């Protein structure tokens, strides 16, 4: 099909990962996927939530938000508490990162991951996870370089991507316009070894078949392996 930006069905939007984007956090990344741009930061706190005190285990948690000018119409700030969508997304980000961290090796400290969408054009949750992994890695390497950790607690990489069915065709990495008219919408979170962490799939207008699901997952796996290569390239610099 003719996609609005001229891509093939199985092609990612242009990906750019800029490390050390902000001065103060232990890890900070600007990830750009097409017109979607997210700042991901990792901040180290030398304490853990009360339910982990004395357990000899660390914690990785996330917060997610969109700045007012990130969408076509101004998005209100969460002055009255976090909205349900943002809460769902930040829990997804936190789960995805904890799945690849040995929390015992992290020690009794917390790494806060903050994902702030500065420009949204679809795929903000998946871009957040992909960028957050790089920020988390930089924060852990800082702990190691400072002698506060003996070895990395990160067991593998993690990345995420969206896929969907639009006008009967399977598409990778949907922009907002494509996502808004997709009759099947799916987000996949996977490790660099190709293991699944989370699959979120919905038939928006009608059910979908097992074959559709297989096609979506196969395309997502291909896209995630490409994202892993982008992560590795960014971390090698």
Binding residue positions for phosphate: 85, 123-125
Beta-carbon contacts of 9 under 8 Å, excluding residues fewer than 6 positions away, are 1, 3, 169, 170, 171, 172, 219
d(CA 55, CA 129): 27
d(CA 234, CA 228): 10
d(CA 178, CA 172): 10
> For residue 69, how many other CB atoms are within 10 A of its CB?
12
Backbone angles phi, psi at 172, to 5 degrees: -100, 140
d(CA 132, CA 3): 28
Binding residues: 85, 123-125
């Amino acid at each position: 099909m003719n996609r609005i930006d001229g891509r093939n069905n199985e092609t990612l939007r242009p990906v750019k990962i800029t490390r050390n984007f902000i001065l103060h956090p232990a890890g900070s990344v600007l990830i750009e996927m097409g017109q979607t741009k997210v700042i991901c930061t990792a901040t180290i706190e030398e304490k853990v939530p009360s339910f982990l005190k004395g357990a000899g285990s660390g914690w990785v948690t996330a917060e997610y938000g969109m700045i007012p000018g990130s969408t076509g119409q101004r998005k209100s700030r969460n002055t009255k508490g976090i909205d349900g969508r943002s809460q769902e997304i930040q829990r997804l980000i936190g789960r995805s990162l904890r799945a690849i961290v040995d929390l015992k090796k992290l020690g009794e400290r917390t790494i806060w991951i903050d994902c702030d969408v500065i420009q949204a054009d679809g795929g903000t949750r998946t871009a957040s996870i992909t960028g957050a992994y790089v920020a988390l890695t930089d924060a852990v390497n800082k702990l190691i370089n400072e002698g506060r950790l003996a070895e990395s607690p990160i067991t593998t990489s993690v990345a995420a991507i969206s896929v969907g069915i639009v006008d009967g065709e399977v598409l990778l990495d949907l922009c907002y316009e494509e996502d808004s008219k997709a009759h099947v919408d799916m987000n996949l979170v996977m490790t660099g070894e190709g293991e699944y962490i989370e699959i979120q799939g919905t038939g928006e207008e009608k059910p979908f078949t097992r074959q559709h699901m297989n096609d979506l997952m196969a395309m997502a796996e291909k896209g995630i392996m490409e994202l892993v290569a982008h992560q590795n390239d960014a971390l090698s610099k």
